[in-house]
Chains A and B, each alone.
Chain A
């Protein structure tokens, strides 16, 4: 899922400037799961804004099923049109869709979108995918070297691995290539580590501008 976290309230207040009528729009998908932009967080942020003594005349909170999907945005049109500012509590994709849908309205991000990751335990999310467009998990035992190695190396660990940790943050960060090594060892596939992986084809990543997926088979 997409993991995001809320911007500090002070930053959000500064962003809102002189706007008086605010509609806080949550998203019932990824950011609900990572507890940063669901209905509960919308209510908490609304309360924080009301208590801020900034003189807002109207603070409304609404949460849509998926903010990145036009079909769910029509539901909030009435509230949107009665507001000066839409404050998005979705990921960047949701926020941009909201901005697209309500063209001409001010749409501001209340969250910082962080990464695609997994839920590792209570209150712990870990980045797992860079969306690079050229998956190599079949070579590396299901552990992504692009994301799990701080340098995104493709041919094994650098010299900065100690005690299985990465020197970038030895307290918290596992060395991705140490993980890959041990996984491949368990799988009896260490010979894969010896294959020289060529330079990546970054054209499949963001380097060519926003990527598109068009499925002609399901297009109307």
Chain B
């Protein structure tokens, strides 16, 4: 069996015990490449890999894989997001073969935002499989060389198996409910085969630290690399809105107060983000940070630098 698995640079960094830094790169809503080019310039050298969203917020954009190939050619290692919302198991596996063929090695398996929240609320959603089933499917493709149906990944009865070998990621949201089940959900993903995790944006460090303590108490941090998600806030108003409206986001009052009192809320938001990264670096079980600077990728280099994480280590292909 041939598995198309040369370890990704990201996986190698985790193995070396480096504190990994990734950032989100949202593809644009048109085929104008200048938007991606600008983000690549902002992020190259500032982070180890970029996470390419898959029709983020259920809004049509350039595909994650298409953008990933573009970004890879521009010299940044991509992490491809794959949601369960838009494709059934055939579509997902076909796209994964295509991604692997084009040298993409990191995959983030997620359920995806519900289509009613995006720009095609009348679309038919798929959700043929869920994120945990997706993780298991990708693991079986790699480990057993089989498609979800059990058939070998090869071109004929006597041909060799040529399976895609992704470094398998997943998401975790320590703040969604029921809260007491959130560590179990992570454990379920680990049991399904997930190898690294990127979490939802964390603002409530105290609550996240409690979640991490439970994670480490159960030894899960030894089985999966956990990158904590951080996202710089731009204003007190935005923070209040996110806190109230976005499920799974909890922003403590003291954060909102700091933004409100600041002369320059944006600068204060960056400062908070840097402090958070420094706290996360001290937390047992946290293997890296994932910076989600939605349409504010130009802020990322300053954040990474402020946290003392520049220069980034050499990436091995």
> Using a CB–CB distance below 8 Å, which chain A residues touch chain B?
150-164, 167-168, 170, 175, 178, 181-182, 193-194, 196-200, 202
Contact = CB atoms under 8 A, between A and B. Distances in A.
B156 interface: no
9 cross-chain pairs, A with B, having the tightest CB-CB distances, nearest first: A159-B173, A167-B247, A155-B132, A162-B247, A159-B176, A159-B248, A160-B247, A153-B130, A199-B129
Contacts of A157: 176-178, 181, 185
Nearest to A202: B128
A161 B177 contact: yes
B187 A151 contact: no
A161 B178 contact: yes
B177 A158 contact: no
Contacts of A167: 114, 117, 246-247
Contacts of B177: 157, 161-164, 175, 178
Most chain B beta-carbon neighbours within 10 Å: one of A162, A194, A200: A162
A132 B152 CA distance: 29
B176 A152 contact: no
B137 interface: yes
A205 to B, nearest CB: 11
A193 B132 CA distance: 12
Interface of B: 84-85, 89, 111, 113-114, 116-117, 125, 127-133, 136-137, 148, 171, 173, 176-178, 181, 184-185, 187-188, 191-192, 200, 246-248
Contact of B247 (A155, A159, A194): A159
A134 to B, nearest CB: 14
A170 B133 contact: no
A161 B187 CA distance: 19
A178 B177 CA distance: 7
Given A160-B114, A194-B187, A199-B137, A155 B130 contact: yes
B126 to A, nearest CB: 10
A199 B247 contact: no
SS class of chain A's interface: helix, strand, loop or mixed? loop
A216 B80 CA distance: 52
Contact of A193 (B136, B181, B200): B181
Given A151-B130, A161-B247, 10 more contacts: A151-B85, A151-B125, A152-B127, A155-B133, A156-B184, A159-B200, A194-B184, A196-B132, A196-B133, A196-B136
B246 to A, nearest CB: 8
B271 to A, nearest CB: 27
Contacts of B132: 155-156, 196
A194 B84 CA distance: 20
12 contacts: A150-B116, A154-B130, A156-B188, A158-B131, A162-B248, A163-B177, A167-B117, A167-B246, A168-B114, A181-B181, A196-B136, A200-B129
Contacts of A193: 181, 184, 188
A167 B187 CA distance: 24
A37 B248 CA distance: 42
Nearest to A145: B130
Nearest to B177: A161
A90 B187 CA distance: 48
Nearest to B250: A162
Contacts of B148: 199
Given A161-B176, A178-B177, A199-B137, A156 B185 contact: yes
B171 A159 contact: yes
A152 B133 CA distance: 13
Nearest to B133: A199
B127 A162 contact: no
A168 B133 contact: no
Given A168-B116, A194-B187, A151 B111 contact: yes
A201 to B, nearest CB: 11
A182 B179 CA distance: 12
A158 B184 contact: no
Nearest to A151: B127
B200 A196 contact: no
A134 B246 CA distance: 34
A178 B178 CA distance: 6
A38 B183 CA distance: 51
A167 B114 CA distance: 9
B182 to A, nearest CB: 9
Contacts of A202: 128
B114 A151 contact: yes
Nearest to B191: A196
Contacts of B125: 151
Nearest to A146: B127
